[in-house]
A = this chain, B = another copy of it.
């Protein structure tokens, strides 16, 4: 999370990591253990910890490793502050010797060596993603925070990569999940690592600002429902793209809607007047980037008809509309219907680009939905994906663990009554074997 710290001082980021990523962002037992190690004279024993997971998420065959950049920043800046020490004094038993707190106050990670897989690499179960080597106490104190930084980042990047594989490379994928994420920073992590996993952009503006990720968005249903009649359109005139006298777009759009009603085989007055007013006002604000949400009332008889009337009006003035978004209903059917109408209009009025306008779909999309929509031969160009992507609904946590594998050169292991939890002791090195044909 490259979330800057200070917003007050001239609005300049004072640091490049989220303030909450700090040594106290850990489980208390790391610190109670640290004291016991300290009391036992074991602080400097040379230890090796492996950070790895036991199973690929989502019943899948791979994982994308992510979060390394944040881990490096955390390890580099690891240092307890004075208020951290005061707080720890207040929660540890009174019997803890004061010298321990002096020891903590001056603890640094200068003797820690980190080996890691590259960020964004495809990884597999039991392969060490991070190997943390150094004095026992410091390595132990890093555990929880490193796990927190790797677990969700890798899960998210993996989830995004799976959506990308399901959608294919020609479909645009946008992350729309902020409001359903696990809090503010959960949302930022989701945007960042979805982009790393193969998404094209996000709706999250702060993620765009902080991480330089492309941001996207047009309007919500509320924009449409905020207009109820054509009279609410205060300004009805738009200057054509190449200049000249402003044109009354309402008049044109109504004329187009009359004509299109015949093509659609509907009555023009069945379409919502408020929706047409909303679309026109939006088109006048963004004549070069008009993309409308067409399912506020009824997709075919109202949203699509009104949209096409406005798009053709813009076309008269030299502008090209971008397309539509559908946020409910049978997305395969509705997208095919919309594409059919775009093609029909394209031919009938000889406007080639009209046939290839963008169709965005965004209602509760997940990996299975995309696969099922593919089978139904949808006509969607872009998916906006929220809840399922950012919460990783099918498996909301990657179970990375951090295990002591060696101490003072001696291999270590934990036995377990659950056989899949037993890990191989000693340092690990992993090799990927390629056949003669490169696979």
Contacts and interface: CB of A to CB of B under 8 A. Distances in A.
A31 interface: yes
A102 B76 CA distance: 41
Nearest to A280: B40
A63 interface: no
A356 interface: no
B209 A29 contact: no
Contact of A36 (B1, B215, B232, B282): B282
Nearest to A49: B222
Interface in A100-130: none
A3 B27 contact: no
With a 10 A CB-CB cut-off, give which of A11, A209, A288, A296 has the most chain B CB atoms. Answer: A209
A182 B189 contact: yes
Interface string A1-17: 10111111001001100
A281 B25 contact: no
A10 to B, nearest CB: 9
B25 A206 contact: yes
A190 interface: yes
Contact of A40 (B31, B235, B328, B402): B235
A273 to B, nearest CB: 14
A421 interface: yes
Contact of A180 (B45, B49, B151, B215): B151
A220 B33 contact: yes
A206 B412 CA distance: 30
B182 A183 contact: yes
Given A3-B19, A148-B183, A417 B29 contact: no
A226 interface: yes
Nearest to A397: B180
Given A47-B226, A233-B40, A416-B328, A288 B148 contact: no
Interface in A374-429: 387, 390-393, 396-397, 399-400, 402-404, 407, 410, 412-418, 421
B41 A234 contact: yes
A393 to B, nearest CB: 5
B27 A178 contact: yes
A323 interface: no
Given A25-B187, A183-B1, A396-B391, A418 B20 contact: no
A151 B36 CA distance: 40
A87 interface: yes
Given A182-B189, A184-B149, A25 B205 contact: yes
A154 B82 CA distance: 34
Top-3 shortest CB links A-B: A185-B185, A28-B217, A29-B217
Given A91-B208, A140-B223, A185-B185, 4 more contacts: A8-B15, A147-B179, A224-B414, A298-B417
